[in-house]
Every structure is written in C-alpha cells, then in structure tokens.
Amino acid sequence: MTGDSGDRRQFTAALLAIAAAGLAPPARALTEADAAAGVRVALERAAVAAVALLGRTDGFYGDRSRRIGLPRALDAAAKVMKATGQGRRVDDLVLAINRAAETAVAGSLDLLRDAVRSMSVEDALGIVRGGDTAVTQFFERKTRAALTPRLRPIVDGATRRHALAEKYDAVASRVAGTGLLRREEASVEAYVTDRALDGLYRAIGDEERRIRRDPVGTGSALLRQVFGR
C-alpha cells in the first residue's frame, strides 16, 4: 500500500506542475482523476494512430509485416493451387482477408475510446508504472471481448462484399476433414476478426513505445509530464 500511495503522490505532484504552467485550471488542486488525464491522452493517441494506420485501404495488405496471411493449415493447399495454375485464387483470398480486416478495424475506434473514458485511476497508475506494453495490455484486457462481437457484423459485411467466404471455402476444402484447421480458422469471419484484433493491438503497442521513448516529441505537455520522468 505504501508503494501505491507513493506512486500516486508522485504522479499527482508531476501533474500539479501543469496547473502551475497554466495548462490546467489553477484555481483548484488536481485530483487523482485529473492526474489520470495524462494517461488518457496517451491511450487515445495510441488508439487513434493505430486505427488510422490499419483502418484504411492497404493498412494491412500494403505492408508485408502487417499483412494477414492464410491460416497455417491452408499453406500446403495454397502451394498446391499455385503449382497447378490457381495462384490467382489464393492471391485474391489473401487480399479479401486483408480488406475485411481493414474495414473491421476502421469501425473499432468508438469502443477503444469508451475504454479510455472508463479507465480507473488504478488503471492509469498501472500504465505509468508498467513497461512498454502496459497500454496495449490495458486495451486488450478491456476491449478484446467486447470488440470481437462488435467487429463480426463489419467482417460479415466485408466478407459478402469481397466474396470472401467463397474464396476461402475454395482453398479450405483442400484440407477439409483432415482436422488441421482449428475451429476458429474454419470460420473465415472468426479468423479475420481475430487477426484484425491482433494487428490492432500490435499497432497500439508500436505507438505506445514511441510515446514512451520520446514524450517530448509528441508536442503534448501532459505526456511530457507523465512519461518524461
């Protein structure tokens, strides 16, 4: 308990300097809830940056490090299809998977912002004390279960628009009945939703690390006070 109290005092004291600099209302002392505002800025910045990066055309597909590939169990079938002149069908499937993921991520920002608004002071202190992925862990813990069913209708719509189910079935049928496809991979919608969220949280983590490495470079006095210690 002593450590938590000390951390809270240190965190609040750091942000009192903001009030003195005229960046927060100087007429009243900052509460712990006010102190958490600095972390909320970091959370929202990370979320907005990740959604802007991925929730657009080629957000996933245009970068090989972020591109969503086929489930591992389909690799062998894809190689056979490419070897028999059906490579275009495989390429179309990969493109459709990534387009569906991009569409899904574009619809996730409101829920991420809801998580930021509901953040407790304890959450904020844990993020300040945490390592380079504390923000990412917070978002995944708070939003993955809620985002999964919320993204599914978006993925379903993108699946229909890109004829993704038909493309997926044409490849997946090659390994049907082998038991190699996991349950979550047998449904293309579940697979896309899961991989889209994986990519989203990785992008949030990248932004979080940038903020922690160079809070001054963000141009935010609040972030400089909280993470520049």
The pLDDT of 79-104, averaged and rounded, is 84
pLDDT band for position 73 (cuts 50, 70, 90): low
pLDDT band for position 2 (cuts 50, 70, 90): low
CA-wise closest residue to 204 among 152, 146, 144, 148: 144
Residue 133 falls in which region: left (phi positive, over 0), alpha (psi -120 to 50) or beta? alpha
| 11-25, 126-140, 152-166: range with lowest mean pLDDT | 11-25
Which tens digits make up the pLDDT trace of 97-151? 899 899 999 988 988 898 888 888 888 878 877 788 888 888 898 889 988 888 8
pLDDT band for position 24 (cuts 50, 70, 90): very low
For the chain, the three-class secondary structure string (H helix, E strand, C coil) is CHHHHHHHHHHHHHHHHHHHCCCCCCCCCCCHHHHCHHHHHHHHHHHHHHHHHHCCCCCCCCCCCCCCCCCHHHHHHHHHHHHCCCHHHHHHHHHHHHHHHHHHHHCCHHHHHHHHHCCCHHHHHHHHHCCCCHHHHHHHHHHHHHHHHHHHHHHHHHHHHCCHHHHHHHHHHHHCCCCCCCHHHHCHHHHHHHHHHHHHHHHHHHHHHHHHHCCHHHCCHHHHHHHCC
| 57-71, 90-104, 185-199: range with lowest mean pLDDT | 185-199
**Is the pLDDT assigned to residue 41 strictly greater than 80?**
yes
Rg (CA), the chain: 22
Say which residue the tokens 């993020």 belong to. Answer: 127
Say which residue the tokens 């006070």 belong to. Answer: 225
Q: Looking at residue 27, what is its pLDDT?
A: 37
Which tens digits make up the pLDDT trace of 193-221? 999 999 999 999 898 888 878 877 777 66
**Is the pLDDT assigned to residue 187 strictly greater than 80?**
no
**Three-point CA angle 161, 156, 98, nearest 5°:** 65
| 5-14, 39-48, 49-58: range with lowest mean pLDDT | 5-14
**Is the pLDDT assigned to residue 93 strictly greater than 80?**
yes
Residue 186 CB partners (closer than 8 Å, separation 6+): 172
Neighbours of 127 (CB within 10 A): 24
CB-count burial class (<10 Å; 0-12, 13-18, 19+) for 165: middle
Greater model confidence, 220 or 23: 220
Q: Looking at residue 4, what is its pLDDT?
A: 57
**pTM confidence score:** 0.74
Residue 165 CB partners (closer than 8 Å, separation 6+): 159, 188, 189
Number of domains in the chain: 1
Domain that holds residue 168: 2-227
d(CA 189, CA 177): 19
Q: Looking at residue 128, what is its pLDDT?
A: 75
Residue 118 CB partners (closer than 8 Å, separation 6+): 142
Q: Looking at residue 16, what is its pLDDT?
A: 45
Report the percent of the chain where pLDDT is more than 90: 18
The pLDDT of 18-41, averaged and rounded, is 54
Highest mean pLDDT among 35-39, 56-60, 174-178: 56-60
**Is the pLDDT assigned to residue 50 strictly greater than 90?**
yes
